[in-house]
Structure 1
Amino acid sequence: MYRTVKRLGIPDSNIILMLADDMACNSRNKRPGGVYDHPDKSVDLYGDNVEVDYRGYEVTVENFIRLLTGRVGPDTPRSKRLLTDDKSNIFIYMTGHGGDEFLKFQDFNEISSHDIADAFAQMWEKKRYNEILFMIDTCQANTMYEAFYSPNIVAVGSSKKGQNSYSYFHDNNLGISVIDRFTYYNLKYLENVKPGSSLTLRDLTLISDFFGAEQNIELTIDPIKLDNVNKNESQIYIHQIPLKV
């Protein structure tokens, strides 16, 4: 999402990027300095002139909570502070390995849904935000915001409780899955959005509802009699959608 919000006019001074940052310059990366969302290498997820504020071992649950609540050390530079007030609208995007009400931070510690909920409550009490858009892409993502109890928060997740969030592209050179389907299709949609567009969050969620990893969908131009479909199959057949062949 860093590439997208920056392209749409949000400057680095208004972005705080927390990233492991261990793949762009990995010795196995055939295109040093970039990480791509598709085999055709058309979209560099890093974008141009990436500025990572928290990297490597700085990306911890403690630092994330301190960042949100403003309880950082006095020697913390401005680039690592969330300098917001009661008029600020904040977009928070998180992704990684997760499960029922937890998200891993680099596989050695976890943040729970209650940790985030309590942090948002502190932010509201301290007048650190006006509205928050919280987006998360992980397995059972929706459980990460079920504990929220503060006002003016809109949350979007890639999967329901008990559901997985599947990867879209596995980079064989790096040996990792670079991007999940939910994020890939959201980025694909947002790449066509221009600054000043009148599109709303509703338009975005309609796209992600269809392309999210919640169901296996097969598109066909041939009508199918549902009476002949095995009820044990998890496929959904959609023949009403016009397709270009």
Structure 2
Amino acid sequence: MRLITYLTTIVVLCVLQVVRADPAHTNNWAVLVCTSRFWFNYRHMANTLSMYRTVKRLGIPDSRIILMLSDDVACNSRNLFPGSVFNNQDRALDLYGESVEVDYKGYEVTVENFIRLLTDRWGEEQPKSKRLLTDENSNIFIYMTGHGGADFLKFQDAEEIASHDIADAFAQMHEKKRYNEIFFMIDTCQANSMYSKFYSPNVLAVGSSRLDESSYSHHSDVEVGVAVIDRFTYYTLDFMENIEKNSSLSLQDLFDSYTFEKVHSHVGVRTDLYHRDPSKVLVTDFFGSVKHIVKDMHDQDNDFQAVLKDHDGTDGYTDHIVNLALSKNERNPVESSKAVSVGLATLRRSERSVVTFDKSKGKAKWSAVVPISILLGLLVLTLSTQSQNNLSSRTATAHSF
């Protein structure tokens, strides 16, 4: 029995040799989808373009925004303001402007293309500019608007996407490590039913109306002749206009801003699949950009001393020191010998450490010394125990004679 216990312990230790670090949030993406077409659905295109303007203003570049739009409003023959789209009757802001990049337009806005976009199931001919090139460190904001019903959303009055279709697409994304977190927002009739089938982790969802409720437009422009924005999106934008890149407002603040008096329907939020408290999640975690700060290496000698003093060459700082040495060599060849000697000395000390850290892969690894030492120790312990048992057995036999 003891031998079985030892073998089980060895197996467990071998499994624990490699410990993965938690994935970090390093980049944001936005997928903005208007599923309607035709002039009388003007407001749905204004909804989507309004969200497009917001995420761009907060720092997400066009290279990380996928915009799906029928794009048949700005140049429609009924438009009294050719080349322009507005979301307010005062027409103070032209949403179309001069810098709108529509990735999927017209009849490219289909259920198939939307699912392929999320799951990245494309052929080699698909350009990178029309792909969602996310990874396990990506936060994705997905916004959809159009005409819908219980568990479905229409695509250009030609086809429908069901709630379980989106749920299964998210599951594939999770299996393929295509996201860190997803924030799903939908503005349509009976919108809350569209996230009811979700089952993948780290997905937060909000909808404009519950089952059997309509989602209403906010107001019309007499000269345009149709409604120009929906109520849910209008009050979302009203909140977002107070957000800057360094804002400390949370998603819970956004959710609390929705009231029945404003939206005229019951906004729903689903948080059971999400691992964080929305009150502690910044709005900019999804709507803004992620900045990477690179230290100015103006005083490399001080960097050497700080690293040696604080970390004594362990915890993966060897790579940092060697990089500093190489940089010093390029900028001042006279001091190269000093820099390289410091780097090599630190490298030798780090090789004797118990744990090493590979920054390029984000994995903490036990060095080979640890499991081998444990295995040898357990083997010696097993042999010594067996020898002691054999000796006791022989002693007992001798006494019996």
- Please state which band the TM-score falls in when normalised by the shorter chain: 0.7 to 0.9
Structure 1 partner of 2:108? 58
Percent of aligned positions that are identical = 68
Structure 2 partner of 1:238? none
Structure 2 partner of 1:96? 146
TM-score (norm 1): 0.84
Asked if 1:16 corresponds to 2:66, the answer is yes
Structure 1 partner of 2:131? 81
Higher relative contact order (CA 8 A, sep 6+): 2
Asked if 1:212 corresponds to 2:263, the answer is yes
One-letter code aligned to 1:177: A
Structure 2 partner of 1:139? 189
CA distance in 1, matches of 2:92, 2:257: 21
Moved more, 29-38 or 71-80: 29-38
TM-score (norm 2): 0.52
- For the aligned residue pairs, the C-alpha RMSD in angstroms reads 1.5
Q: Which runs of 5+ in 2 are unaligned?
A: 1-50, 267-401
CA distance in 1, matches of 2:253, 2:83: 33
Aligned length: 215
1:55-106 alpha-carbon deviations (Å, 9 max, x no partner): 0000000000000000022111111100001100000000000000000111
CA distance in 1, matches of 2:177, 2:219: 40
CA distance in 1, matches of 2:97, 2:167: 31
Offset at residue 176 of structure 1 (A): 3.9
One-letter code aligned to 1:213: H
Structure 2 partner of 1:46? 96
1:9 and 1:40, CA in 2 relative to 1: closer, same or farther beyond 3 A? Answer: same
1:120-170 alpha-carbon deviations (Å, 9 max, x no partner): 000000000010000000000000000000000000000000100001133
Q: Is the 8 A contact 1:36 1:44 kept in 2?
A: yes
Q: Secondary structure of 1:139's partner?
A: coil
- Richer in helix (by share): 2
One-letter code aligned to 1:139: C
Q: Secondary structure of 2:102's partner?
A: coil
Asked if 1:6 corresponds to 2:59, the answer is no
Report matched runs for 1:1-245 at 5 Å. Answer: 1-46=51-96, 48-172=98-222, 174-210=224-260, 211-214=262-265
Structure of higher CA gyration radius: 2
Q: Is the 8 A contact 1:3 1:47 kept in 2?
A: no
- Richer in strand (by share): 1
Q: Which runs of 5+ in 1 are unaligned?
A: 216-245
Q: Is the 8 A contact 1:139 1:164 kept in 2?
A: yes
1:47 and 1:130, CA in 2 relative to 1: closer, same or farther beyond 3 A? Answer: farther
